[in-house]
Amino acid sequence: MDLSTPPTQTPNTAIPEVEQLLARARSGQMGLPELMDRSSHLQQAGMLEAAALLYQVWVETTPSPLAHVACYNWGTLLGAMNRHAEAEQVYRKALAFNENFVQARLNLGHQLEQLGRQEEALEQWRLVYDDLRVQAKGRDGEELLLHALNNGARLLENLKRYDESQALMVRSLEINPRQGSVLQHYVHIRQKQCAWPVYQPVGEVTLNQLLVGTSLLAMLSASDDPALQLMVAQRFVHEKVIDYKDRPLHELAAAQRPRDGRIRIGYLSGDLCMHAVGLMTAELYELHDRSRFEVFGFCWSRDDGTPLRERIVKSFDHHVRLHGMDDLTAARTIAAAGIDVLIDLQGLTNGARPNILAYRPAPIQACWMGLPATSALPGVDWMIADRFVMPTEYLPHCTEKPIYLDRCYQISDRKRLVGPEPTRAQYQLPEDAFVFCSFNNNHKFSEEMFHAWMRVLKQVEGSVLWLLADNPWSHANMLKVAASHGIAPERLIFAPRVAPPEYVARFALADLVLDTFPYNAGTTASDCLWVGTPILTRSGRTYISRMAGSLLTHVGLPDLVTHSLEEYEQRAVQIGQNPARARSYKRFLREQGRESTLFDIPGLVRDLENKLETMAVAQRQKQKKA
């Protein structure tokens, strides 16, 4: 047998070759370099089980001072095969051979995390970043330290132990300030904690590095400058998205099977479950005109077992799971389905798979709902919008062209569940006080707007501000700012997170919702207007800072749209000092809100369909002429 070439993949020939390799490993005559080479050949041939077995046999039968290295490679292979429990034991074996083998300890932490044993994973990484011997190893030691610190910080952030996570990020940035990913998380974790000012330099990190390193999601809360939002989106694309130069997949698919018949529309998302996108879009899929459209759902959403998830899946003509597929295979699957219009509901939000779009599996690709901002993705040419959220002056800062709806851009669900109306006493709200409210996520709270809220409370005697209690650090920081304005802590009332029906129902207890800026409320604004509670917003220069303004315009309350901090503050005080005005808004919303164009969801779907059908028919005709 020629051992210089990979074993063949034909079962009849591969099995004898593997047996010979195993026999050689048992003989004790195979050195570590040969073992690694033969195992690599097996892996290249797709014979992962055989490669893992070869390592196992060698380790069990070959005395070697380098056994820990073989165990490390064996564990890496098992981990890649998702055999995490076995990988754990192999890494522990490597450490038994050499307790100072830091790389094995790092990987052991990853296997423990995969097994759901987060505390044990954190302990393995702590043993690395607190080891003085590792810290003394120069550049190699620095890389190992950063690996341990950054993964510890990541996991702690996922566990919402934000103070511990930030502390590790600070240590990491003090070692190496040029870590883009760590800078992104450092900025955003401070936003989550309402740790103002958010841009707090650390070590040699400059304010400019923090600004340039901000993620797109964090920038939506940090700045209303459309140029900055475009810049950080382009930076992400440059770093993370492939530059696909081959022939677009939709053209290859069309050459094999020209499109005809009903327009095929596909929705692409990892959030078609109990998530804001799933909650908002559920009725959309049900309302499509099946005589004109065939509806596909391409998703990698978690199967969370909720009735919402079941409802969404049933609403598609074809539900295609992309979970477990690589991006190219997923794109080929979409192209093979002959999709005319692919609508991305994810953008660059958590869990996004932008490379699917980069392959251009559909001739028309548009974004909507998931990311209310330009994504700068090379595979997305269109953005579904209205003329309020995407005015002419905003267009130069978007890589997408608008598909303008003749009504509000936002889809919502008229079937959303609303719980029984609660009482103020249930939430420790004073019966006779004016209740301002903001149930947006704490990372949307900007320092500027929170100070404005405190000035409003100071001018509206006896009023309270009802907020979400996202985490204890944001809670403490908000109380600290309130105290600096002379606002007693009992005037900030923190509500716990609850199930969506109860969350929507309790909006009725508030007199006026105060919108965030520059990251406006989206789902939150729709929910409060649906139950009949007004929201005061401030509209700016970007799509995301104009969302609530669009909703209020289309529901018939444009006087609740302000355009400066001063106007916003004055209007909030005017309404707070005149509760009858808030009651009139509530009465208007109860009587006319649900009949407005904002909640004419069938009309919105017909409008969208007409726009997309025109584009798709023109594209088909163009394809036939080519």
CATH code for position 491: 3.40.50.2000
Same domain, 373 and 466: no
Same domain, 398 and 428: no
pTM of the predicted protein model: 0.91
CATH code for position 260: 3.40.50.11380
- Which of 343, 374, 404 is the last residue before a domain boundary? 404
Same domain, 197 and 307: no
Domains in the chain, number: 3
pLDDT over 60 (residue 6): no
Across the range 185-193, mean pLDDT stands at 97
pLDDT of residue 7: 42
Two structure tokens written together for 185: 């998380």
Residue 262 lies inside a defined structural domain of this protein: yes
pLDDT over 90 (residue 529): yes
Predicted confidence band of residue 9 (pLDDT cuts 50, 70, 90) = very low
pLDDT in tens, 293-303: 999 999 999 99
Same domain, 188 and 287: no
pLDDT in tens, 397-430: 999 999 999 999 999 999 999 999 999 999 999 9
Predicted confidence band of residue 25 (pLDDT cuts 50, 70, 90) = confident
pLDDT of residue 580: 97
Same domain, 200 and 267: no
Spacing of C-alpha 91 from chain mean position? 32
pLDDT over 80 (residue 536): yes
pLDDT in tens, 201-255: 999 999 999 999 999 999 999 999 999 999 999 999 999 999 998 889 988 877 6
Same domain, 446 and 369: no
pLDDT of residue 513: 98
Two structure tokens written together for 287: 């309302």
Helix (H) or strand (E) holding 142: helix 138-158
Residue 337 lies inside a defined structural domain of this protein: yes
Same domain, 183 and 259: no
Across the range 90-116, mean pLDDT stands at 97
Across the range 482-505, mean pLDDT stands at 95
Residue 613 lies inside a defined structural domain of this protein: no
pLDDT in tens, 336-351: 999 999 999 998 888 8
Same domain, 428 and 567: yes
Average pLDDT, the chain: 93
Residue 590 lies inside a defined structural domain of this protein: yes
Amino acid letter for position 241: V
pLDDT-above-70 percentage for the chain: 96
pLDDT of residue 14: 58
Pick the more confident residue, 259 or 134: 134
Residue 220 lies inside a defined structural domain of this protein: no
Same domain, 381 and 455: no
Residue 238 lies inside a defined structural domain of this protein: no
The most confident of the ranges 163-177, 237-251, 252-266 is 163-177
Closest CA to 548 of 531, 533, 529, 566: 529
β 263-269/293-299 pair status: parallel
Residue 622 lies inside a defined structural domain of this protein: no
pLDDT-above-90 percentage for the chain: 88
For the chain, the farthest-separated pair of C-alpha atoms sits apart, in whole angstroms, at: 91
Strands (E), 57-178: none
Same domain, 70 and 200: yes
Q: How far is it, in rounded angstroms, from Cα 124 to Cα 51?
A: 27
Predicted confidence band of residue 452 (pLDDT cuts 50, 70, 90) = very high
Same domain, 285 and 145: no
Residue span of the structural domain in which 138 resides:
11-204
Distances (CA, A) of 373 to 109, 216, 430, 529: 37, 9, 39, 23
Across the range 143-162, mean pLDDT stands at 97
Predicted confidence band of residue 10 (pLDDT cuts 50, 70, 90) = very low
Across the range 436-446, mean pLDDT stands at 96
Residue 213 lies inside a defined structural domain of this protein: no
Same domain, 471 and 561: yes
- Which of 204, 234, 265 is the last residue before a domain boundary? 204
pLDDT over 50 (residue 5): no
